[in-house]
Amino acid sequence: MKIDKNTINKIARLSRIKLDDKESEDYIKDLNSILDWVEQLNEVNTENVEPLSNISSSILPKREDVSNDTNSSEEILENAPDKLEGFFAVPKVVE
Amino acid sequence: MSKSSLKQTLKDLDTKKISIRELNQDYLKRIKENENLNVFIHFSEENVLKQIDNLEKDNSAKKLKGIPIAIKDLFCTKSMPTTAASKILENFNPTYESFVTQKLLDEGSIFVGKTNLDEFAMGSATNTSFFGNTINPLSKENEPLAPGGSSGGSAAAVAADLCLGATGTDTGGSIRQPASFCGVVGIKPTYGLCSRWGIAAFASSLDQAGIFSHNVEDASILLQSIAGFDQRDSTSAKVDIPNYFENLDDDLNGKTVGIPKEYSIDGTPMEISQIWEDAIKVLEKKGVKIKNISLPHTKYALPTYYIIAPAEASSNLARYDGVKYGFRSDEIDSLDEMYENTRAQGFGREVKRRILIGTYVLSAGYYDAYYLKAQKVRKLIADDFNKAFKECDFIVTPTAPSAAFPLNEKQNDPIKMYLNDVFTVPASLAGLPGISIPFGKDKNNLPLGIQILGKHFDEQQVFNAAVSLERSYE
């Protein structure tokens, strides 16, 4: 079993998702079955194969290096759950 | 019910046989009559009437003036909320317009509403939405069927004739599979053809916008409208967009179609193999050369996809943290508590599953074994297609391994659900354009789909083959 209780807690922590015990158990089962299933990729010989990260066959054009100031802070803050004096507001992080 | 085509409607509007108001009131009436299908996450009659008022005051000529279009609720729209079918974006009102929807607005189309989808486009049945299932309009009474997914609401909107076209997005089959399930046309163009600016991101190396429509001609008109370069999406391609509709040519004489032997999969229903054979026979009669091809890494496409897509999703969905927009949990004793509770309460089960698996395959010690390995296999899958396209002009396969299945049937076993994408995922990994068109029925009279794949940026060939098959089937 690749994923045990410790591993799922570690991943959940990295993902910033709180899991209750029932959920942890379900995800341990799900993730192990998915990881067993993807294991079949080990059958494929990938020696000297370059990993493919961008599939596009077109040449990605460069844009001109000019700055532009859209000054949209009000718009950006419009959907914030909490804001204060032009900033996003979050719970206190320093004592 | 006879459905008008976009092409015919444009003519009728042009010759004043019908007004923009009459046309859209017809659609509004049907939308209200079909509320039980749960096609829309957001629908406001008032909003549609306002758009009609504005267009009536506008004297300029526009290509899609007055045409009712449904928008998948993954595209940011200024005039309507955008939720990605997630609780975490329940109250999100974008302050900007996506590239694709802006193009449609510039051409004068009317947005009838925002359609339902699987949460963040993760699913194959539109059953992971925070806003409930969409019901396939082809369902019989008391036997609700899934519309496919993730763009199930858009496919259902076209199938129930609630619009003349709809936008969708396709990461591993999210346009083609629901098109097949709902008996409509759905095209996913080449990766990079349409800018993804303003579309909530799922897996950025795969996501692409596309179109649902009643027929191939309409799809060719609409795809041209949403395609194009945009510097705000760094993967958007600077290529000339042909007039697909004007260039449509159903004469396939002398062309070669590739038939991949690896798409004959054990357990595929007879009816699906049968329509595939039928399509090949039709093409042969039209003077198309049939070429048996091999795409040897096909069986590894699904496991490759289910490493790459969740990995990219775990990164893309990190932005939903309860700070900048959307839902924030009430339990916020500390900053970390706020993140963890917001994401625990804001995301649904399938989305969390994919974030967790994605985080695992990217984590220290596992990156090479999973993510890097998957990227290498992806290269081999793309190379398979490159080799195959040296011998053929387009490829024909079934779209999905089944017709529409009953709602909720495949919910418990994730791998079984993932198998829905078996015929659509390989082309997504290779970035190729693909269309699904209705072709034949199963024993319960439900539509089945044929998929046509083309070379990068050869949407014209895909449309030509599709229109040719469609015309011979009608």
Which pLDDT belongs to residue B1? 38
- Please list, in sequence order, all residues whose beta carbon lies within 8 angstroms of the beta carbon of residue B312, skipping any fewer than 6 positions away: B202, B203, B204, B205, B206, B358
- Tell me whether strands B68-72 and B110-115 are parallel, antiparallel or unpaired: parallel
Residues of chain B with pLDDT under 70: 1-2, 410-411, 474
Q: Is A49 exposed, middle or buried (0-12, 13-18, 19+ CB in 10 A)?
A: middle
Q: Within a domain: residue A17?
A: yes
Contact between B30 and B20 under an 8 Å Cβ cutoff? The reply is no
Q: Within a domain: residue A29?
A: yes
Q: What ipTM was reported for this prediction?
A: 0.95
Among all residues of chain A, which has the CA nearest to that of B309? A53
Test A17 with B328 for CB contact under 8 angstroms.
no
DSSP 3-state assignment of B237?
Answer: coil
State how far the alpha carbon of B274 is from the alpha carbons of A20, B129, B155, B282, B294, in Å.
Answer: 48, 34, 24, 12, 20
State how far the alpha carbon of A21 is from the alpha carbons of A2, A27, A28, A63, A81, in Å.
Answer: 18, 10, 11, 50, 29
Q: Is B2 exposed, middle or buried (0-12, 13-18, 19+ CB in 10 A)?
A: exposed
pLDDT tens digits, B96-154: 999 999 999 999 999 999 999 999 999 999 999 999 999 999 998 889 999 999 999 99
Q: Within a domain: residue A27?
A: yes
The separation between CA B281 and the C-alpha centre of its own chain, rounded to angstroms, equals: 28
HSE of B206, CA atoms in CB hemisphere, 13 A = 31
Q: Which residues of B touch A57 (CB under 8 A)?
A: 431, 456-457
Which pLDDT belongs to residue B2? 52
Q: Which residues of B touch A11 (CB under 8 A)?
A: 356, 359-360, 363
- Please list, in sequence order, all residues whose beta carbon lies within 8 angstroms of the beta carbon of residue B123, skipping any fewer than 6 positions away: B149, B150, B350, B417
Closest residue to B376, CB basis, from A14, A17, A49 = A49
Closest residue to B340, CB basis, from A18, A33, A78 = A18
Which pLDDT belongs to residue B411? 62
* DSSP element (H, E) containing B352: helix B349-362
Test B414 with A7 for CB contact under 8 angstroms.
no
Test B373 with A76 for CB contact under 8 angstroms.
no
Region label for B118, one of left (φ > 0), alpha (ψ between -120 and 50) or beta (otherwise): beta
Instruction: Give the DSSP per-residue string, B375-417.
Output: HHHHHHHHHHHHHHTTT-SEEEEES-SSSPPBTTTT-S-HHHH
- Cα gap B378→B355, rounded to integer Å: 21
Q: Which residues of A touch B380 (CB under 8 A)?
A: 44, 46, 49
Range(s) of the domain holding residue B49: 1-474
- Cα gap A42→A35, rounded to integer Å: 12
Among all residues of chain B, which has the CA nearest to that of A48? B376
pLDDT tens digits, A25-79: 999 999 999 999 999 999 999 999 999 988 887 777 777 899 888 778 899 999 9
Among all residues of chain A, which has the CA nearest to that of B362? A11
| Catalytic residue annotation of B | 72, 150, 174
Instruction: Give the DSSP per-residue string, B304-322.
Output: HHHHHHHHHHHHHGGG-SS
Give the number of domains in chain B: 1
The separation between CA B182 and the C-alpha centre of its own chain, rounded to angstroms, equals: 12
Q: Which residues of B touch A33 (CB under 8 A)?
A: 414-415
- Whether residue A24 lies within 8 A of chain B, CB to CB, comes out as no
Q: Which residues of B touch A87 (CB under 8 A)?
A: none
Size of interface A-B (CB pairs under 8 A): 166
Give the number of domains in chain A: 1
Q: Within a domain: residue A12?
A: yes
* CATH for A37: 1.10.20
Q: Which residues of B touch A34 (CB under 8 A)?
A: 306, 357, 414-415
- Tell me whether strands B165-170 and B68-72 are parallel, antiparallel or unpaired: parallel
Closest residue to B235, CB basis, from A16, A31, A60 = A60
Q: Within a domain: residue A49?
A: no
* CATH for B362: 3.90.1300.10
Virtual torsion, Cα A62, A63, A64, A67, nearest 10 deg = -130
Instruction: Give the DSSP per-residue string, A48-68.
Output: TPPPP-----SPPPPPP----
Which pLDDT belongs to residue B474? 58
Mean pLDDT of chain B: 96
Range(s) of the domain holding residue A26: 5-43
The alpha-carbon gap from A29 to the nearest alpha carbon of chain B, in Å, equals 11
Contacts from A29-34 at CB under 8 Å and sequence distance 24+?
A30/B353, A30/B414, A31/A2, A31/A3, A31/B353, A31/B356, A31/B357, A31/B360, A32/A1, A32/A2, A32/A3, A33/B414, A33/B415, A34/B306, A34/B357, A34/B414, A34/B415
Q: Within a domain: residue A76?
A: no
Among all residues of chain B, which has the CA nearest to that of A93? B335
- Whether residue A57 lies within 8 A of chain B, CB to CB, comes out as yes
Tell me what percent of the residues of chain B surpass a pLDDT of 90.
92
The alpha-carbon gap from A26 to the nearest alpha carbon of chain B, in Å, equals 10
Q: Within a domain: residue A15?
A: yes
CB atoms within 10 A of CB B65: 17
Asked whether the bond before B150 is cis by omega within 30 degrees of 0, the reply is yes
